[in-house]
A and B are shown apart, each in its own frame.
Chain A
Amino acid sequence: MRIVGFGHPDRNDWVSAVLSTAAEIGASPTHISPEGVSDFAAMDQGTLEWRGALDSAHWLVNSSSTVLEGGAPRSAWGASMSFAELEGSRSVMIVEMPECPERLAEAWGAVIERIRQIHLLFIEHSALGAIAEIEGIEPESLLSSIRYKGLVPIVCSYEPEERRACIEHALGSTEVLTSKRMGSESWLAAFLCELPLSGPGIVGLEKAARAGII
């Protein structure tokens, strides 16, 4: 399973966490980041060769906080999703609470602008309430509303304390309790690795959602 992620060069972000867990599971992750650049915001997005990087990749993983890093990372973030669309890779977007929570609206706005290019939207549980407030909808119906209005194939979230994964998809809603408590990034990595192999329909989806035992 080839997974490509675009993230911060110092690899302390959500994308890197998902990729490293995916590597432990047995996937072949590729972390795309500007080489030899000390300032991420000043990177040259023209140096990234997306077509080659996404060749035969199943997933492209991005995070909403990348857009807050500056104009160049934001452009590269957007370009990666356009190339994923062209190359046939599925685009995964992680929406998490940024270091500066007041900037969540900005990050979420950038995600909304690209909503049609996203195939799997993962909203980190700590950001759920804030996004529901921005959108003016009840937190309980947030995932289904986004899926419904944005036509995103899969919108999901994982609550580590309750070990509960909520997944909204074209066939309805699925809620799964994992047998073990794990971090959200571990659940997402396992879900991404298992989903293409777990078979069709709700049964396959549930199987993938329960796969997070490493």
Chain B
Amino acid sequence: MPLKLGPAGVPLSCKGRTIVEGMDDITVLGLDAMEVQTVRTIQPQHFDQYWQAGVLSWNSDFEMNMHGPYYAELLGSKRERNRTLTKMETSLQAGKIINARHLTFHVGPYGEYQPGPAANEQVANVLSGVVDRVREVWGDAEEEEDYAAFPWVHEAEPSLVGVETSGRQELWGTVEEVLEVCNHVEGTVPVLNMGHIHARGHGRMKTSEDYAELFDQARETYGGSTFYCHFAGVEHRMGNALHYTQIKKSDLKFEPFAEYLAEEGDWMDITIISDSPLLEHDAMYMLQHYDKARQRLLEIRARDERRAKLAAQTGIDPEELKRKEEEAAAARKAQLSGGKVTEAKKPAKKASSKSSTGKGGKMMSFDEKKGEDDVF
């Protein structure tokens, strides 16, 4: 399964602050994706580093992505919508230069619309225009000479337009809405912000089954296998995201997601961007958990294979062999725990004798200390 992981922005630990320096640091950390934040107006001086980043990503496996403006109002008045589209235009121009595989956009508040088909239709109409514009911007035959040094503009597929789920009830962007729009507009991809989905669903992402349910829903509705996800810890209340937190401090855990990806994610082409306050630290935390989940799965598979072979050799039913092994393991465990009781008494005696002679070892466990406290 192709899985790419990276931070949303230049790593916090990066000494330099340019995108290229950030890409170097991300690669050193063993990660392979980045989402450039264009939350504010893009200034001309940014374009120099965008070209460099584009060239670097084209010549390597590094995946560049871009996040559009946070202040989106696609369902607002004509003036509000046009203001948002102007900002989006800048992002998609920058996305071309940086060789962005995904351009992530928010839709914003429902505005005059009620949640439902009319709002979704309006979003689909606006986004199909955005997709058309992305295709116009990429691969313009008249510009081929101008962009000779940047081959991806003509050789690569244009950026996919990512539609992000929202973390608040008053914003357009439930999972259902996003999937419906992505299903109707070719060239779009759902951006599943797990923190937002968890918050909006009152803490719904708890187990690997919850992730299975989410991606099954995506597979049935949207049909594609390319996914772009954001992951961060989140504080939430009443179905609204309040604040991003580091993953360890949130009730949204990454382990179930890692378990799901390792066990059932073979069909997916997925990019996960860490937008936690500890950007790259949490991206690495996710990578470690994914590796652990895969390792665990491989161990289970190896054990099952060994059991099947052994069963075939001995002529026993594999299920019966499994039962016997479990019984043997339980007996071993019982024996071991019985042994521990007797062993536990011994160090206590040793500790007291050591302390009485004043020659206590350098390494001492808490149990030993407790024993000392008891003595005195």
Question: Could you tell me which A residues sit within 8 Å of B by CB distance?
Answer: 71, 74-75, 78-79, 82, 85-86, 108-109, 112-114, 116-117, 119, 134-137, 145, 149-153, 170
Answer yes or no: B76 CB below 8 A from chain A CBs. Answer: no
Q: Is the CB of A170 within 8 A of B237?
A: yes
**CA–CA, A152 and B242, complex, Å:** 8
Chain A residues near B241: list those with CB within 8 A: 151
Q: State in angstroms the CA–CA spacing of A129 and B68 once bound together.
A: 23
Across the two chains, which residue of chain B brings its CB closest to A119? B243
What residues of A have a CB within 8 angstroms of the CB of B17 in the complex?
A: 74
> How many whole Å from A116's CB to the nearest CB in chain B?
4
| A–B pairs, 13, beta carbons within 8 Å | A74-B17, A75-B15, A82-B278, A86-B278, A108-B40, A109-B40, A112-B39, A116-B244, A134-B41, A136-B71, A136-B83, A136-B87, A153-B243
How far does the alpha carbon of A71 sit from the alpha carbon of B87 in the complex, in Å? Answer: 30
A113 touching B243 in the complex, CB below 8 Å, given contacts A135-B40, A136-B83, A137-B71: no
Additional A-B contacts beyond A112-B40, A149-B70, A153-B243 (7; CB < 8 A): A108-B40, A112-B37, A116-B276, A136-B87, A150-B70, A151-B241, A151-B243
State whether B10 touches A113 (Cβ < 8 A): yes
Tell whether B275 is near chain A: CB-to-CB under 8 Å: yes
The one of A78, A134, A145, A153 in contact with B12, judged by C-beta atoms closer than 8 angstroms, is A78
Query: B9 to A113, Cβ gap below 8 A?
Result: yes
Tell me which residues across on chain A come within 8 A of B15, comparing CB atoms: 71, 75
Q: A136-B83, A149-B71 are in contact. Are A113 and B278 (CB under 8 A)?
A: no
Given A113-B9, A145-B71, A150-B70, CB of A85 within 8 Å of CB of B277: yes
CB distance from B162 to the nearest CB of A (A): 17
Q: State whether B12 touches A82 (Cβ < 8 A).
A: yes
A-facing mask of B257-280, CB < 8 A → 1, else 0?
Answer: 000000000000000000111100
**Residues of chain A with a CB closer than 8 A to B246's CB:** 85-86
Least distance between B73 CB and chain A CB atoms (Å): 10
Question: Using Cβ atoms and an 8 Å threshold, which residues of chain A touch B37?
Answer: 112-113
A116 contacts across to B, CB distance below 8 A: 232, 244, 275-277
User: Given that A149-B70, A151-B243, A170-B237 are known contacts, is A117 also in contact with B277, CB under 8 Å in the complex?
Assistant: yes
Chain B residues closer than 8 Å to A151, beta-carbon distance: 167, 241-244
Nearest CB in chain A: distance from B84 CB, A: 10
Name the A residues within 8 Å of B167 (CB-CB). Answer: 151
Are B71 and A135 neighbours in the complex by a CB distance under 8 Å?
yes
> In the complex, what distance in Å separates the CA atom of A82 from the CA atom of B246?
10
Please name all residues of chain A whose beta carbon is closer than 8 Å to the beta carbon of B242 when the two chains form the complex.
Answer: 151, 153, 170
- Bound state CA distance, A78 and B10, in angstroms? 12
Considering only CB atoms, which chain A residue lies closest to B199 in the complex? A151
Q: Are A134 and B276 in contact, CB atoms less than 8 angstroms apart? A: no
Residues of A within 8 A of B276 (CB): 116
Looking at B12, B277, B278, which has the most chain A CB atoms within 10 Å of its CB? Answer: B277
| For the complex of A and B, 10 pairs with smallest distance between CB atoms | A149-B70, A116-B277, A117-B277, A116-B244, A170-B242, A85-B277, A151-B243, A153-B243, A82-B12, A151-B244
- Kindly provide the distance from the CB of A86 to the nearest chain B CB, expressed in whole angstroms: 7
Chain A nearest CB from B307 CB (Å) reads 44
Residues of B with C-beta under 8 A to A113: 9-10, 37
Near A by CB (< 8 A), chain B positions 111-134 give none
B 1-20 binary contact with A (CB < 8 Å = 1; else 0): 00000000110110101000
Instruction: Give the CA-CA distance A12 to B45 in the complex, in Å.
Output: 32
Q: How far is the CA of A112 from the CA of B39 in the complex (A)?
A: 8
Return chain A residues, CB-CB under 8 Å to B83. Answer: 136
A204 to B244 alpha-carbon distance, docked (Å)? 23
Report how far A178 CA is from B275 CA in the complex, Å. Answer: 38
Find the residue from A75, A82, A151 having the highest chain B CB count within 10 A. A151
Report the nearest B residue to A85, measured CB to CB. B277
- Report the separation of the CA atoms of residues A109 and B53 in the bound assembly, to the nearest whole angstrom: 20
